């Protein structure tokens, strides 16, 4: 009798283990919640709702419609508070993600993906006294694949700043900061497009040479 019970227990344990292994094998790589709550819960009344749209940078200055609208699935969005990783999550198949940030703090939002050059920007959620409520801000950002020989050191610091605009009474980009960094970004992108063209020309030449040898 004891032997039968022992064998039955072994079978039950085996089934549980197999069930866990099956779940792990077929579990999606990333989950994409509609809204991510950063350091807060869904009962918090005052926050900044950020709506992210992440896409892949085109390789030319004159991309076609197909290349211009390549949304990045599973791009990692990491939120830092006081230089400490605070929260992270992933974009959906359409490159979208929505999350809430508590007010009156300064965050660094980093967008990254394996094989791509990361970008980041600062979000200051501080608002005037007595104006704690729900705010919303949409941002569209593109990141590009790593290119040999490209100096992308300008992207090691935030490329934009978002803060509450007292005049417009809403969150907006800091235009003065954007103007300061734009010249550096334009220089980097000129080199990026040049390197992409050189690579494309090299590939085309190699294909032509191979075709000529075959014929």
In the prediction, which pLDDT does 61 show?
75
What are the structural domain ranges in the chain? 36-214
Residues 6 or more apart whose Cβ sits within 8 Å of residue 69: 55
Give one DSSP letter per residue of 98-137, joined into a string: EEEEESS-EEEEEEE-TTB--EEEEEE----TT--SEEEE
In the prediction, which pLDDT does 196 show?
87
CA distance 74 to 8: 43
Q: What's 36-214's CATH class?
A: mainly beta
Question: How distant is the alpha carbon of residue 34 from its chain centre?
Answer: 15
User: Six-digit token pair at 176?
Assistant: 């003065």
Report the predicted TM-score, pTM, of the whole model to 2 decimal places.
Answer: 0.75
Question: How distant is the alpha carbon of residue 115 from its chain centre?
Answer: 13
| Residue 199: its H or E element | helix 175-214
In the prediction, which pLDDT does 34 show?
46
Question: What is the pLDDT tens value at each position of the chain, 215 positions in all?
Answer: 545 454 445 545 454 444 554 444 444 444 444 455 555 555 568 999 999 999 999 887 776 656 667 999 999 999 999 999 999 989 999 999 999 999 999 999 999 999 999 999 999 999 999 999 999 999 999 999 999 999 999 999 999 999 999 999 999 999 999 999 999 999 999 999 999 888 777 666 666 656 666 65
In the prediction, which pLDDT does 37 show?
54
Residues 6 or more apart whose Cβ sits within 8 Å of residue 122: 106, 107, 108, 109, 158, 160, 161, 162
């Amino acid at each position: 009798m004891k032997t039968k019970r022992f064998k039955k227990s072994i079978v039950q344990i085996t089934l549980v283990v197999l069930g866990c292994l099956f779940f792990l094998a077929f579990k999606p790589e990333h989950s994409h919640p509609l809204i991510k709550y950063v350091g807060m819960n869904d009962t918090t009344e005052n926050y900044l709702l950020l709506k992210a749209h992440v896409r892949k940078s085109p390789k030319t200055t004159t991309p076609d419609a197909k290349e211009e609208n390549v949304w990045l699935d599973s791009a990692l969005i990491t939120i830092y508070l006081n230089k400490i990783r605070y929260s992270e999550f992933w974009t959906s198949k359409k490159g979208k993600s929505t999350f809430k940030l508590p007010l009156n703090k300064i965050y660094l939002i980093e967008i990254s993906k394996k094989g791509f050059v990361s970008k980041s920007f600062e979000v200051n959620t501080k608002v005037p006294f007595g104006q704690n409520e729900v705010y919303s801000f949409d941002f569209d950002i593109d990141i590009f694949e790593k290119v040999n020989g490209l100096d992308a050191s300008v992207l090691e610091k935030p490329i934009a700043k978002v803060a509450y605009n007292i005049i417009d009474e809403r969150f907006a980009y800091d235009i003065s900061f954007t103007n300061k960094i734009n010249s550096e970004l334009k220089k980097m992108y000129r080199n990026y497009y040049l390197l992409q063209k050189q690579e494309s020309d090299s590939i085309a030449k190699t294909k032509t040479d191979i075709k000529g040898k075959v014929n």
